[in-house]
Structure 1
């Protein structure tokens, strides 16, 4: 970031290029689909394209979200210094930047088979609606789960060309994982969110937040286990999920209810994603779709 010219720095911040955790969390579900379908090793180049797509589209999503939320961001201490509410970037320039990032995403889309292209395009309505969810529901994290997990569907179809039960179980488990870690993230903003009327699962769960996160993580492991069982119905195949399960358990047990360590725990899901991806890689390489 320090190497960028000052005029460009605001655009990089707007797309959150300085915070790679977001695109890691968008990228891992893509790898889940590629790995569990058994195609990650043979078609490793797709993973690189999807990494580029995750960086560009996560950036585009952040730009769009900031355009929609500009007035709200001015009222929240953590977001008031963002480029749009602070005036570092003009709204018209933000729209142009959004289009440029989407063009990169379009280039990535062109690398996929047509079935995966169609699957990817179906996510656009979900992406467009997400910034408004915090205004109308206590569970915007569920909507984020639908959006951030979509890569699992695209990755699966990019390899197999079809949909089946394992893919949907993989998607369901990943949604629950996203709800869990984004609830942890939302713990940081509970006071400000309550003041300005923003809704979140962290506020809804109240004093039961650790139990709620634990439940969603347990559902994630359950969904992922069913995905594995669908292609390889052997008990030993489920052992592949033990490392990521332990990681998530440690997350919950060490999470402080006041949210003072929430950001670090949220970021640790980059490791959780890696552990899950390795599990799917082992099972997918041994199984057949």
Structure 2
């Protein structure tokens, strides 16, 4: 089996350019050659940490920001490796995934399980530095991660399950920062679920033909020609819930000044999505790193007082 680049891994990615050849299959097993997935797993946690800090009148905890960055990289690697073990037969039939290390035989199933164990152990070392609620939530996320690879076999909406999984960090980050949960965290989590449902539907556009041949279900296949409208609906719900976070947390005016940028970014994606343009769909999917950073910035900025307060008018 060839070790050619996957279509969604840039030929100039750092793994192929800089990593020693013996390490490349392992780094690709953890998808370190495609870091956008790390961003998308990490950002809900960052957003929740920012939200908690803003509600407490302070900047986000730099320790938690760093811990969630490392933890997201490790858990995304473990999740991808487990996904590759479960999907190795399907991956071998799909052009975009046939070169993955397990499907192509570069790494055995047993070796992949060792890789998963090491990633989880390192993640646990980070998790135990947080409070009991955060530790419990972190352990609970493993059930979502373990079930995800099977969703494409039993439902047309595996992207929704990915949303539940990838945005668990919104609850975990808020709990780690405050020691509790609350309505703002729940709204942020729900917003993220619909955000992921939208962007992963875009991602699934790449595989429409191959998924149909392999019998793999996806929201893109289920929606068919209405996929663009479906993504627009998912993003509209996500945006509404994100705005509701500001109301529930009583965030300052700057939050509402930045949120329209988030809305414009999501709208742009829906307008540019074309079902016959897999490369364009991949570019739109990757742009969600920037969308998530815009919402993160809005949540940080929300700590500044509303303009109504600046002018001395009481709420």
With the length of structure 2 as denominator, give the TM-score of the two structures.
Answer: 0.87
Secondary structure of 1:46's match? Answer: helix
Distance of 2:100 and 2:254 partners within structure 1? 48
The structure 1 segments of at least 4 consecutive aligned residues displaced by more than 4 Å after TM superposition are: 233-237, 284-287
**Which residue number corresponds to residue 166 of structure 1?**
184
Cα distance 1:135–1:210, how it changes in 2: closer, same or farther (>3 A)? Answer: same
**Which residue number corresponds to residue 27 of structure 1?**
42
Q: Is the 8 A contact 1:255 1:265 kept in 2?
A: yes
Distance of 2:202 and 2:176 partners within structure 1? 31
The 5 Å alignment of 1:255-270 reads 255-260=273-278, 261-270=280-289
Q: Is the 8 A contact 1:38 1:285 kept in 2?
A: no
Aligned alpha-carbon RMSD (Å): 1.6
Distance of 1:73 and 1:86 partners within structure 2? 9
Cα distance 1:198–1:37, how it changes in 2: closer, same or farther (>3 A)? Answer: same
1:105 aligns with 2:123: yes
Secondary structure of 1:75's match? Answer: coil
Question: How much has 1:283 moved relative to structure 2?
Answer: 1.5
More displaced, 256-265 or 62-71?
256-265
1:156 aligns with 2:174: yes
The 5 Å alignment of 1:140-289 reads 140-232=158-250, 237-260=255-278, 261-284=280-303
Unmatched runs of 5 consecutive residues or more in structure 2: 1-14, 307-315
Distance of 2:50 and 2:304 partners within structure 1? 8
Q: Is the 8 A contact 1:145 1:179 kept in 2?
A: yes
Larger radius of gyration: 2
Q: Is the 8 A contact 1:37 1:284 kept in 2?
A: no
Q: Is the 8 A contact 1:29 1:151 kept in 2?
A: yes
- Among 56, 66, 69, the alignment partner of 1:51 is 69
Cα distance 1:97–1:285, how it changes in 2: closer, same or farther (>3 A)? Answer: farther
Distance of 2:231 and 2:67 partners within structure 1? 32
Q: Is the 8 A contact 1:243 1:275 kept in 2?
A: yes
Secondary structure of 1:85's match? Answer: coil
Secondary structure of 1:84's match? Answer: coil
Distance of 2:112 and 2:219 partners within structure 1? 29
Secondary structure of 2:18's match? Answer: coil
More displaced, 115-124 or 236-245?
236-245
Question: How much has 1:234 moved relative to structure 2?
Answer: 7.1
Cα distance 1:42–1:266, how it changes in 2: closer, same or farther (>3 A)? Answer: closer
Higher relative contact order (CA 8 A, sep 6+): 1
